[in-house]
Structure 1
Amino acid sequence: MGGVQASYSFSASWVTAAPLDEVAATVVDLEHYPDWWPQVQAVAKLGPDTARVLCRSALPYTLDLVLDAVRREPPVLEVAVSGDLDGWVRWTLSPVDGGTRTDFAQEVSVDGALAAASLIARPLLRWNHHRMMAGCESGLRARLEGNP
């Protein structure tokens, strides 16, 4: 595709008071993301290693993504991302005192209207992603640590 294109790199890290195998099982279970990750609106399984995921954070825009499993065995869990974004998402899990350290990394590119918007709204789009990841962290902790 021609036209405007924009790339983004995101990362986040946190510790969840749960064993690595429980964190890994929750992260690879895409179909249940809407149960604990508020910004994941819907997931449809398309095949054994593929799912369609609709995400919406604070901004009034829903991302329509297809995730294809690349690695499902801890300590590294990874999916290829296509649809409104193209790239990958990787979760690296490490046992630490008190639970599991989660290192989240994402490298994606966009084109079309979202890329054009990023020319002026990049800080707002980064803030929106930060809100999404805050929802992920708090939702994952609540699910695995038993906090409402």
Structure 2
Amino acid sequence: MDWSHYRFCSLWSLPAPPATVYAVLERPEDYPRWWPQVRAVTRLDDTTGVLTIRSVLPYELSFTARQTRRDPAAGVLEVAMSGDITGWARWTVTPDGPGTLARYDQVVDVDKPLLRRLAVPGRLLFRTNHRLMMAAGRRGLLRYLEAV
């Protein structure tokens, strides 16, 4: 088993129409406005940007995200990532009663040297750190959607 390999899935139930949620999620340069752990997003071109994130633990991850799929009709946004983490992430936005279910799937390998060295003893902490980041993202998006 590669202890630096992670697979995550988060489900966010949101009280807004799918088109509204999709419109917010397709603008990663705005993530720092509502998602505190997304510290910076720098667009390189129409389909690529560099993101810096930090959750509870005292380390940052920086990676380049390149859009590989943007399908508003299917509610899918997908990126390939390279840098401190390598892999892919996908948002899938679908109707859920009067609101939306936003599903976030991510499969990555951690390439940052310090985190690779701490892979075995730190695995539970790293997974918890990710879970806390996703929970904060959902709370931030809820507040942001209320304001728009």
Q: Show the counterpart of 1:44.
A: 42
CA distance in 1, matches of 2:3, 2:39: 26
The residue number in structure 2 matching 1:145 is 146
Mapping 1:103-122, distance limit 5 Å: 103-111=103-111, 112-122=113-123
Kindly provide the amino acid, as one letter, of the partner of residue 69 in structure 1. Answer: Q
CA contact (8 A) 1:70 1:80 kept: yes
Secondary structure at the counterpart of residue 137 of structure 2: helix
TM-score by length of structure 2 reads 0.92
The answer on whether the counterparts of 2:88 and 2:108 sit within 8 Å (CA) in structure 1 is yes
Q: Is the 8 A contact 1:88 1:108 kept in 2?
A: yes
Work out whether 1:126 is the aligned partner of 2:124: no
What count of residue pairs does the alignment treat as equivalent?
Answer: 144
Identity of aligned residues (%): 42
How far off its partner does 1:141 sit? 1.1
Q: How does 1:30-109 map to 2 (within 5 A)?
A: 30-74=28-72, 75-109=75-109
**Secondary structure of the corresponding residue to residue 72 of structure 1:** strand
Gap regions ≥5 residues in structure 1: none
Partner residue, 1:135? 136
The 2-side partners of 1:142 and 1:71 are apart by 27
Displacement over 2 Å in runs of 4+? none
Task: Note the aligned Cα RMSD (angstroms).
Answer: 1.5
| Structure-2 separation of matches of 1:128 and 1:122 | 10
- Contact 1:72 1:78 (8 Å CA) reproduced: yes
For residues 25-76 of structure 1, give each alpha carbon's deviation from its aligned partner in whole angstroms, at most 9, with x where no partner exists.
1111011110000101111111110010110000110101111011122311
**Which whole-Å CA distance do the structure 2 matches of 1:115 and 1:8 have between them?**
12
2:66–2:79 CA contact under 8 A, matched in 1: yes
Structure 2 unaligned segments of length 5 or more: list them. Answer: none
Q: SS at the partner of 2:143?
A: helix
Which of 10, 13, 19 matches 1:12?
10
With normalisation by structure 1, the TM-score equals: 0.92
